[in-house]
Each structure stands twice: as C-alpha cells, then as structure tokens.
Amino acid sequence: MKTPAYVWHNGRIKPFAEASVGVGAHALHYGSSVFEGERVYATPQGPMFFRLRDHTERLFHSARVYDLNVGYSADEIDQACAEVVLANKLGSAYLRPIVYRSGFTFSLAPPLETQVDVAVIAIEWGSMHGAAALEQGVDVCVSSWNRAAPNTYPSGAKAGGNYLNSQLIAREAVNGGFVEGIALAPGGLLSEGAGENLFIVRNGKIYTPPAGASILCGITRDTVMTLAQEMGYAVHEQPMPREMLYFADEVFMTGTAAELTPVRSVDRKPVGEGKPGPVTKALQRAFFGLFDGSTEDHWGWLTPVQAR
C-alpha cells in the first residue's frame, strides 16, 4: 500500500512518517483501538463524503465500549477527515480514522486517563476485491472459523482486536483459493464476511443476518437495505442457516471497502447461474448511482469535503 504524504494526528496535519506509535502502546499489545473505514467519492458536484457523520457516530459508540476518551468532538473528527483529504489533494479516498490507547501500560484495566491518540489516514483505494469483482462476482467459502459470541468481544464495536478473527477468516479463504470467507455465528447460523456484511436473494426477496448474528451493523448494509426497500423489495433481517447460501438465487456482500460485491460461488457451488443476478445488479446501479447523480440522495448522505 502506498503511504500518503500527510496524515491527521492528534489535532494537526503532519507528514505520514512523523505519526508513529511506541512499542509499549497498549493498543499494540491488547488491540485497544477503534476505527472506521469511510469513503469520499468523486461526484459531479466534486468530492463528497458518504455518510460521514454515521461513521463518526459509530466511531464514538465503539470508543464507549472500551472506555476510550476520543478527546475531540464529532465535528472535530469530521473536520479532521476533510483536512486530511484536502492535504493529500485526493479527489476520491478511503479514510481510516482510528482512536487508540497509545500509553505504555501492561494493565488490562489501565487508568482511564492513560493516553489515547487519534489519527485519520486517507488513501486512494478502489474497491477492496478489485473492479473485476464488482462486475463478475467473487468466489467465497464458508469459514471453519466462527465469529465471536456476543458475550466475548462485541462485533458491534469496530475494534482493532476484532480483526484477529477477520484475519483468520480471510487468510484461510485466500489459502484455499477463495477471495473471501463467510463466517458462521456461534450458534451455527450465518453471520458475515471477514470485512463485509452478507445478503441473500431468494424468490425476489432480500435477506440479511440480524444484529444478533455477531455482525458489525454496516453502514453500507443499512444503505443497501434502504435503497432496496425504496425500490420495492421486501428486506428481511433474520437468522439463516448455512444452506440458504446454496439455495440462494443471488448472494452479495457489502462494505465501505468492498462496496457491493456480487458472490458468484460459495464452496465451489455456483450461486444461481454463476454470475451476478438481476437484483444484485439493480442494487449496484442504485448504490453507485448515488455518486454519479443517477440516484437522488434524499437522505443527505453526501456531504462536500470542505475546510472549515
């Protein structure tokens, strides 16, 4: 990954190499960081954040779970995001705000005033699984690794430590020749991908696992559910067994990084006709239409990248 020229770190823009983390940082040892992934899209109206405030709010919610004091207001974090995009002169971007316990301590319950640092990284990044994946779909497997039980570490908080589980899921998939792994929840029902939410289309209806299935409630998931309902589809958040993947007419995954990626096979079994289906394609058109203006943004999801 190409490093950007500048990063926002603890209140100001600085050269990327100057924003460093110490070897004693609590977050490095124990995963005590929370972060976001969010995008700026190039639109006919110029570069626009997509659902910036929703991401910032989720960052604060995640921080609450681990008693991380962000030390900045939501407005200040939004502004930091704008500043780092502008500093790097990016017309479109993937942003990574991160709040992490940087102080040196081996305590598992460190004093709440132990230092917390905040950074926002912005890079140019196309879709996570590549442009061809968006068009042709990807081959996935069901992982032998489960998502974490809700009473272990919560999937709803987007914390660095959670991504050990995601790394196991993704690595196993890649080693097996797949693009991504779909994990089951502790009870054996469908959960989500290593870094994406999961959707199934069957008989014209759309299904996705519920919050209780150890998922991160994705902002792209919410976007797609909203667009689908507006287009007249019935959308059901419900627990589903693994075999629903094999009965599905269509399967797709959503995420800020993965955007809306069709799944063309699961465990080497083709999904439907083994290529993206009509519902997936219609939803992709609606989603990407938000950024070329062909889908009207009447939710106020797009906000311009501007300095205060």
Q: Which amino acids are annotated catalytic? A: 158
CB closer to ligand PMP out of 103 and 223: 223
Three-point CA angle 297, 48, 56, nearest 5°: 90
**Is residue 180 a contact residue for ligand PMP (CB under 6 A)?**
no
Q: How far is the CB of 30 from ligand PMP (least distance, A)?
A: 19
Q: How far is the CB of 113 from ligand PMP (least distance, A)?
A: 29
Coil, helix or strand at residue 209: coil
C-alpha separations of 207 from 150, 186, 232, 252, 300 in Å:
21, 19, 14, 10, 26
- Interface residues for ligand PMP in 18-37 (CB under 6 A)? 37
Q: How far is the CB of 28 from ligand PMP (least distance, A)?
A: 20
Q: Which residues contact 152 (CB under 8 A, 6 or more apart)?
A: none
Q: How far is the CB of 209 from ligand PMP (least distance, A)?
A: 11
Nearest to 90 by CA among 58, 46, 29, 137: 46
Q: How far is the CB of 80 from ligand PMP (least distance, A)?
A: 19
Cα gap 123→57, rounded to integer Å: 21
Q: Which of 32, 88, 197, 280 binds ligand PMP (CB under 6 A)?
A: 197
**Is residue 62 a contact residue for ligand PMP (CB under 6 A)?**
no
Cα gap 255→306, rounded to integer Å: 25
**Is residue 143 a contact residue for ligand PMP (CB under 6 A)?**
no
Dihedral through CA 62, CA 67, CA 72, CA 75, nearest 10?
30
Range in contact with ligand PMP (rule: CB under 6 A) among 13-21, 26-34, 89-97, 193-201: 193-201
Cα gap 84→6, rounded to integer Å: 7
**Is residue 184 a contact residue for ligand PMP (CB under 6 A)?**
no
CB closer to ligand PMP out of 36 and 117: 36
Nearest to 40 by CA among 300, 295, 298, 291: 291
- H or E segment to which residue 284 belongs: helix 278-292
CB closer to ligand PMP out of 166 and 265: 166
**Is residue 216 a contact residue for ligand PMP (CB under 6 A)?**
yes
Query: By rule CB under 6 A, what count of residues binds ligand PMP?
Result: 14
**Is residue 276 a contact residue for ligand PMP (CB under 6 A)?**
no
Nearest to 102 by CA among 22, 164, 165: 22
**Is residue 47 a contact residue for ligand PMP (CB under 6 A)?**
no
Q: How far is the CB of 111 from ligand PMP (least distance, A)?
A: 30
Residue number closest to ligand PMP, CB atom: 218
**Is residue 220 a contact residue for ligand PMP (CB under 6 A)?**
yes
- Radius of gyration of the chain measured on its C-alpha atoms: 19
**Is residue 284 a contact residue for ligand PMP (CB under 6 A)?**
no
Coil, helix or strand at residue 133: helix
Please check whether residue 200 is in contact with residue 163, taking contact to mean a CB–CB distance below 8 angstroms: no
Range in contact with ligand PMP (rule: CB under 6 A) among 117-125, 191-199, 238-246, 299-307: 191-199
**Which residues are near ligand PMP by CB under 6 A?**
37, 166, 192, 195-197, 216, 218-221, 254-256
